[in-house]
Structure 1
Amino acid sequence: MDITQLAAEEAHNPVLPVWSEVILGLIVFGIVLFLVAKLVVPNFEKAYAERTAAIEGGMKEAAQAQEEAKAALEQYNAQLAEARHEAARIREEAREQGAQITAELRTQAQDEAQRIVSAAHQQIEAERAQAVQSLRREVGQLSTELASRIVGESLEDEARQRRTVERFIVDLEGSSNGSAN
């Protein structure tokens, strides 16, 4: 080793910094700091603001969606209650209509039964009248034959026969009414 080298090494103390390096380091650090502050920090701030806005927007959207869901649930519950009320009203109307139909059917059945009974009475009355008329005719013929045999004269004349039969029936009815009273 050279003496000059040794003297240069002794002149520089390793504990003390070299001032030229410190100044150069400070200048480079200032430039890097300036570049970071001008180029990188605004991008970070912009990304941070966008992220904050997205998070806040997402929270607002979530709150809005929650409110919409709550409103939809309330609307659904209201519609469900209305549907239940409508179903109850329809059931009640159906019961009333069923009772009305049953009453109408009963009335129709009673009317039909009354009509059938009335028709039966009319038919019975017609048959009774026909039977009475048939009996009168037979009784008239029998009485005419009997009267002809008793009287001994012919009652073949129709007009005479009719008068005799009618007189006989009137006498017969008079005697049956008199004995009944």
Structure 2
Amino acid sequence: MDIARYIGSLFAFALIIGLLWWKAVPPVRKMMRDRQEAIRQQIEEAKRADERLAEAEKKYAEAVTEARTEAAKIRDAARADAQRIVEELRVRAEQEVERIKQRGEDHLAQQHQQAIRELRAEIGRLSTELAGRVVREHLAQDGNRQATVDRFLDELEQVSAREGEPGETTVGAGATAGEGGS
């Protein structure tokens, strides 16, 4: 009986194996194939991701290089603009200095002319005052006063006589009277 049980157990085992082979293995194989396919797709996606990453890193490096180049251009342009602005400001400052200098020279010339006018006016006033003082002192003496009056009267007579002559003008008479008065 042992053999019959052994054969029965073997038959039952074979039947279970066959049933498992028929019902369980195909879904497991399908599941394994699906899983392998999913893994293969993930590997391909990972390779594509690596390629995209490498491409992105390359583009990033190019963008950084381009940005540095552009920054260098902008920096050079800014330096050129700064140099141009400094030069313009220097020219403007020189023009302003020249304008202020010219205004100062003009002001100094005006002050010089004003001083000359004031000095001339003062000298004229002092001269008139001095001349008046000299005349007063001269006329303060009786003999000088009489001689001056006589000379003045003689000159008036000469002027009256000349007025009768043709070609003489009263301007000449005024000049003669002016010369005698000093």
Separation in 2, partners of 1:144, 1:25: 166
Separation in 1, partners of 2:129, 2:9: 169
Task: Give 5+ residue unaligned stretches, structure 2.
Answer: 1-5, 149-173
Separation in 1, partners of 2:135, 2:8: 181
Look up the equivalent residue of 2:100 and give its one-letter code.
E
Look up the equivalent residue of 1:73 and give its one-letter code.
A
> Pick from 80, 88, 92: which aligns with 1:104?
92
Q: What TM-score do you get using the length of structure 2 for normalisation?
A: 0.65
Task: Give 5+ residue unaligned stretches, structure 1.
Answer: 1-17, 156-162, 172-181
State the partner residue of 2:53.
65
Separation in 2, partners of 1:137, 1:38: 140
Matched, 1:93 2:93: no
Deviates further, 24-33 or 115-124: 24-33
Count of equivalent residues: 144
Query: Identity percentage over the alignment?
Result: 12
Look up the equivalent residue of 2:96 and give its one-letter code.
Q
> Pick from 31, 34, 39: which aligns with 1:51?
39
Look up the equivalent residue of 2:63 and give its one-letter code.
Q
Look up the equivalent residue of 2:46 and give its one-letter code.
G
Provide the alpha-carbon RMSD of the alignment.
Answer: 3.3
Separation in 1, partners of 2:59, 2:20: 55
Separation in 1, partners of 2:26, 2:115: 128
Residues 95-152 of structure 1 deviation map (CA, whole Å, 9 limit, x = unaligned): 1101111110111011101101110111111111110111111112112221333354
Q: What TM-score do you get using the length of structure 1 for normalisation?
A: 0.65
Deviates further, 98-107 or 143-152: 143-152
